[in-house]
Structure 1
Amino acid sequence: MPIVDRTELQVDKITMSRRQLLASAAVGTAGAAFFGASPAAAQSKSNKDDSFRLTVLGTTDTHGNILNWDYYKDAEYDDTKHNDVGLAKISTLVSAMRAERGRCSTLTLDAGDTIQGTPLAYYYARIDPITGAKAPVHPMAAAMNAIGYDAAALGNHEFNYGLGTLRKFQSQLHHPLLGANALDWNTGKAAFEEFIIKKVRVGDHRGHEHGHRHSGSGEYVKVGIVGLVTPGCAIWDKDNLDGKIKFNGIVEQAKLVIPKVKRAGADIVIVSCHSGADTSSSYGDALPWPENASTLLAQQVPDIDAILVGHAHVEIPQRFVQNTKTGKQVLLSEPLKWGERLTVLDLDLVKQRGRWHVGTASSTVLNANTVPADDKIVSLVAKQHAAVRSYVNGVIGTSTTAMSAATSRYEDTAAIDFINYVQADAVKKALAGSSSAALPVLSIAAPFNADAAIPAGNVTVRDVAGLYIFDNTLAAITFTGAQVKAYLEFSAAYFKQITGTGPFKADDVTNAVTPTAPTGTPDYNYDIMGGSGSSAAESLTYDIDIAQPVGSRIRNLMYGGAAIPADKQFVVAINNYRQSGGGGFPGVTGAPVVYNAQVEIRQLIIDWVTAAKSIDPTVFSRQDWKLVSNGMPITITA
């Protein structure tokens, strides 16, 4: 593996002492005991021959964020909690932690979902691809190399652009990309590295620069690092993976791999796991293994000391899970998403009978909004950042009126109607002359991005891209009228059961907890279905009565103003994530597929605007659905 120059920042660039910086960056109370400890106490502990503190730093779900920048707004990133994002800020935290704990006793890991999620990531996958003739280095690879990661796990979104892009990205990294349960389709052997073992020199390493050499043989702790990814990849990127890579369950594969790691000499084992802590599956029973299995991993597989959790986009500063076979407490931590947090795992090791073990463990997360960006990372990607800004700010058309997606999760909006209109139009054109051409076309879209907005006047790439922030491709299936109703009933479980007409706040009505969404149904798993939108005769209309129990909410379902017979045939424009089973919607995976050209929906919308030159919402937008309570319209405030 190539050695990367990990020259550290001069920490005195930070306007506070390292200890003050780290204490102010700590989120919540987890790990607070360490930050209250004196440097002398930590020094005394690390000087003992039979004790040693190993610090593991972790990120996850960075999703193409390097700078604290919102490309859809073309402005510095901010949210209601004033989080900051990006690897440039993570780099500052990592450098400060290495200076505090010692560079040689600190490992840095990532838990996946790196190369998808921002226009920056899209640009180097599709516009100026890293697989092209010029073969630019992916900016995420460049930033991670400069920070000096020791290993990273695959995330499910790593497969979004196909194996060619992923393998090129992998080749550009200076650290291994681990995926123990990603297996070759034919041989069943590991398609990526399963694990690595890092040798960490025992002793006090504070003040050591990267690249120095230790004299003498010394003593080392062998740290096994394993990467695992949610098996949902097989569903969500079926078209990219079928016949190439298959996936075993996380727990099932770990039971095979962890003993191998121990046999290879690992004293301790850390798993970087792209799978949420709270056991659930958005795809229901479409696979025999759960999507989110990190807690099950800790409970059921012995010899794991700590798990860096990813995928769920939640913040877990510190959680302990007891292994049912050994009684051992396994430490879990998840550092939110997008580079907003950095996990710090402190493993205090003790030597017993000549082998190192974890005596005590703790963790916390550090907040990226407490530190400045690392100038080294900012400069490293400045050219790429400028290229992407230029691309996304290119004007491709105009709109007669403004359209906002801000209220799309609870009321019919022109913004979602526009997505459905473009999708249905593409499917109609593709099916012309086929046996399915005479069937009415419906379309589904989810309120992915509440900040999305198309302005009146000039429309840019970033305006349109904001409507569809995922890299899904368009497909089309056939459904009966009964299946359309069942699909809508399933989608309507997104709403909490509420009586009365309000006014209600949106959060009091939306994101209902369900058996498959124990922390609340995400917006992307609420689908809005519409007709082709070109005329009332092609419109789908319905009410969602949220006073009724789940499964009995869709009322007044009509197509073209008439009730829909159960056996009436439709073509439904649908994204590949949903068509492959993502979200567990009924009837989808077994439905006949009549179109699947694997055209990205975001690019389809951009191309539509570029060709049409003008967006006129009066052509496609009307109120086709509404929320009601016992038949009466509901008032919802933001």
Structure 2
Amino acid sequence: MKKENALLTIVYTSDVHGNAMPISYGTNESTDSGLAKYATAVKKIRNEKENVLVLDNGDLIQGTPFMTHYVKQHRHKGNPMITLVNQIDIDGAVIGNHEFNFGKNVLSDAVKQSKFPWISANIIDITTNEPKYGPPYLIKIFPNGLKVAVIGVTTHYIPNWESPDHIEGLYFADAYETLKEWTTYIRKTENPDVLIASYHGGFERDLETGEETEVQTGENQGYRMCDIEGIDILLTGHQHRKLTTKVNDVLVIQPGNNGTLYGEVNISLSNTSGKWEITEKMAQLRDLHSVPADQEALQAIEDLEASTQNWLDEPIGFIEGDMAIHNPFQARIAKHPFIEFIQKVQMEESGVDISVTSLLNNSSKGFASSVTMRDVVSNYMYPNTLVVLELTGHDIKLALEKSAEYFTINDYGEIAVNPAYETPKPQHYNYDMWEGIDYTIVVNEPVGNRIRNISYQGKPLSEDESYHVVLNNYRATGGGNYDMFKEKPVVKEIQKDAVEIIRAYFERHKTVQATITSNFAVKVK
């Protein structure tokens, strides 16, 4: 029998997070990112290659002011991210954890508008016991008979982050166990030539040494998945890492975030006996430098983009004093006026006098003297809502000790950021600062024994007494491994997202003073 050769090309995005336009909304500067540019790259690949499979690996519809504005004011129109991936003509997509952030209706509408299947085998409708948003896997057969299977799974840790009403009626089965089960089933019943696992999740171990790199919560299971017999390719995401390698002969890849890179996997196959066999597999990360934006894509979203820009440039308030963040590390070890502002907003909205917040990332710049919506959304990029929990003093102490893990002492004896909060994924948002209580973090004490001198209203905090505390919904559900908050009594839920709450605060207080109440200290003995 004559030998045949074939090349299968898999192109995929992950963690695009609402980036449609090649623009940074915080500065309005052009960027080499976004679906409009990616559309051009996909067209070129399809023109040059025969067997092309295009996928998205989740966290597609949330993450930019563009999408926040769409949800707030343009829901009656089609979801612009779905419009673009429909134009790109992708073959399938996986549900990411941030797909739930805008609520069930926004996600359901997005799925209905999609011209492609959503595959997340482990997100189960509890009434039907079937995958909620689409089939557990897809099969694509190319003209040369090459048969490819793609299984989609999503990190099952979502209930630890998401508002309960956003995931009501859903069961998140273990991603590893689900993938193992479906891989066995598909290999037996479908007999594909190539089996791809598309996993919205990352890696729990070092890819070279196999050593644990994070607390084994089940949030990330990618390393373990490479032990599943029958998987050829593991597409990953969630951690926003940039990597390609092999683990147990499984080719793995992760293409960063925000649509700045995409993954390209090329699989060489040969056929001499009626069955395609893989002879080589390679993965590369591709950037969008010098790639022009697709005009059809730009035209499809130009009206919403113009509306977004007008919304972002609306002045909403003024600051007297300095509320700019010049050094994000300093803003975490000593009280900063911007942090105090967020605490005041949360306390006024909730009516309680103890508040928890964080500086969400190192690109936050705080506020200048005139504040626009662009300033608000560039500093507060997540659609968090607020929750008031009833916590004991003991719970508060545990939470403070958890936050204190953020710090370490470097080789020079100086306070520094614990490397675990910077790699493999930056997690600066998991360091909390508190308002309404006084406390001290002593960094050169052992982890779990760093908090000193906790007081409330001038008196030592009582571990047995209960206190009402306002915090965002991500943290209130235990997000960031703050297990002490899980299943605590909910006093109040405030179903408005942070951007709207901040805007309303400026409507009530047109001019805000930049103030500092020094209620905490981070130091060495």
| Structure 1 residue 595 displacement after superposition | 0.9
Evaluate the alpha carbon distance shift between residue 330 and residue 497 of structure 1 in structure 2; reply closer, same or farther with a 3 A threshold: same
| Structure 1 residue 59 displacement after superposition | 0.7
Structure 1 position 93 matched with structure 2 position 41 = yes
Which 5+ residue runs of structure 2 have no aligned equivalent? 207-211
Counterpart residue number, 2:267: 347
TM-score normalised by length of structure 2 = 0.92
Q: How does 1:434-583 map to 2 (within 5 A)?
A: 441-498=353-410, 502=414, 509-513=416-420, 519=424, 522-531=427-436, 540-583=437-480
Counterpart residue number, 1:325: none
Structure 1 position 226 matched with structure 2 position 154 = no
Larger Rg: 1
Counterpart residue number, 1:22: none
CA distance in 1, matches of 2:473, 2:318: 29
Counterpart residue number, 1:201: 143
AA in 2 matched with 1:481: G
Evaluate the alpha carbon distance shift between residue 545 and residue 352 of structure 1 in structure 2; reply closer, same or farther with a 3 A threshold: farther
> 3-state SS of the aligned residue for 1:269?
strand
CA distance in 2, matches of 1:518, 1:366: 22
Contact (CA 8 Å) 1:153, 1:177: kept in 2 or not? Answer: yes
| Structure 1 residue 89 displacement after superposition | 2.1
CA distance in 2, matches of 1:394, 1:385: 15
CA distance in 2, matches of 1:70, 1:520: 21
AA in 2 matched with 1:297: M
Counterpart residue number, 2:522: 627
CA distance in 2, matches of 1:162, 1:352: 51
Counterpart residue number, 1:158: 99
Counterpart residue number, 1:70: 24
| Structure 1 residue 391 displacement after superposition | 0.8
Contact (CA 8 Å) 1:276, 1:312: kept in 2 or not? Answer: yes
| Structure 1 residue 246 displacement after superposition | 0.9
| Structure 1 residue 283 displacement after superposition | 10
CA distance in 2, matches of 1:470, 1:309: 22
**RMSD between superposed Cα atoms in Å:** 2.3
> 3-state SS of the aligned residue for 1:136?
coil
Per-residue CA deviation, residues 121-170 of structure 1 (Å, 9 max, x unaligned), is 111222222xxxxx212111121122221111110011111221111111
CA distance in 2, matches of 1:85, 1:54: 25
TM-score normalised by length of structure 1 = 0.76
CA distance in 2, matches of 1:234, 1:566: 28
Structure 1 position 614 matched with structure 2 position 521 = no
AA in 2 matched with 1:96: K
> 3-state SS of the aligned residue for 1:65?
coil
Structure 1 position 399 matched with structure 2 position 319 = yes
> 3-state SS of the aligned residue for 1:426?
helix
CA distance in 1, matches of 2:156, 2:220: 9
Contact (CA 8 Å) 2:3, 2:272: kept in 1 or not? Answer: no
Counterpart residue number, 1:291: 219
CA distance in 1, matches of 2:149, 2:364: 43
Evaluate the alpha carbon distance shift between residue 283 and residue 296 of structure 1 in structure 2; reply closer, same or farther with a 3 A threshold: closer
Contact (CA 8 Å) 1:444, 1:530: kept in 2 or not? Answer: yes
| Structure 1 residue 238 displacement after superposition | 4.2
Counterpart residue number, 2:116: 175
Evaluate the alpha carbon distance shift between residue 369 and residue 541 of structure 1 in structure 2; reply closer, same or farther with a 3 A threshold: farther
Q: How does 1:35-114 map to 2 (within 5 A)?
A: 49-77=3-31, 84-100=32-48, 102=49, 104-114=50-60
Counterpart residue number, 1:270: 196
Counterpart residue number, 1:5: none
Structure 1 position 305 matched with structure 2 position 232 = yes
| Structure 1 residue 279 displacement after superposition | 4.6
Q: 272-281 or 545-554, which moves further after superposition?
A: 272-281
| Structure 1 residue 331 displacement after superposition | 0.7
Identity of aligned residues (%): 29
CA distance in 1, matches of 2:70, 2:179: 33
CA distance in 2, matches of 1:370, 1:624: 50
AA in 1 matched with 2:358: A
CA distance in 1, matches of 2:460, 2:261: 51
AA in 2 matched with 1:525: N
Evaluate the alpha carbon distance shift between residue 97 and residue 409 of structure 1 in structure 2; reply closer, same or farther with a 3 A threshold: farther
| Structure 1 residue 186 displacement after superposition | 2.6
Structure 1 position 376 matched with structure 2 position 296 = yes
Contact (CA 8 Å) 1:313, 1:337: kept in 2 or not? Answer: yes
CA distance in 1, matches of 2:274, 2:12: 29
Structure 1 position 414 matched with structure 2 position 337 = yes
> 3-state SS of the aligned residue for 1:582?
coil
CA distance in 1, matches of 2:161, 2:114: 25
CA distance in 1, matches of 2:313, 2:39: 28
Q: 477-486 or 557-566, which moves further after superposition?
A: 557-566
CA distance in 1, matches of 2:334, 2:295: 44
> 3-state SS of the aligned residue for 2:109?
helix
Evaluate the alpha carbon distance shift between residue 315 and residue 518 of structure 1 in structure 2; reply closer, same or farther with a 3 A threshold: closer
Counterpart residue number, 1:15: none
CA distance in 1, matches of 2:256, 2:215: 24
Contact (CA 8 Å) 1:499, 1:629: kept in 2 or not? Answer: no
AA in 2 matched with 1:266: P
CA distance in 2, matches of 1:612, 1:296: 52
Contact (CA 8 Å) 1:283, 1:581: kept in 2 or not? Answer: no
Counterpart residue number, 2:66: 120
How many equivalent residue pairs?
514
Evaluate the alpha carbon distance shift between residue 128 and residue 510 of structure 1 in structure 2; reply closer, same or farther with a 3 A threshold: same
CA distance in 1, matches of 2:22, 2:167: 36
Evaluate the alpha carbon distance shift between residue 456 and residue 247 of structure 1 in structure 2; reply closer, same or farther with a 3 A threshold: closer
Contact (CA 8 Å) 1:279, 1:292: kept in 2 or not? Answer: no
> 3-state SS of the aligned residue for 1:198?
strand
Structure 1 position 190 matched with structure 2 position 131 = yes
| Structure 1 residue 577 displacement after superposition | 1.1
| Structure 1 residue 76 displacement after superposition | 2.7
| Structure 1 residue 423 displacement after superposition | 0.9
CA distance in 1, matches of 2:390, 2:477: 14
Per-residue CA deviation, residues 500-530 of structure 1 (Å, 9 max, x unaligned), is 775x7xxxx114328xx86366101111111
Evaluate the alpha carbon distance shift between residue 196 and residue 499 of structure 1 in structure 2; reply closer, same or farther with a 3 A threshold: closer
> 3-state SS of the aligned residue for 2:405?
helix
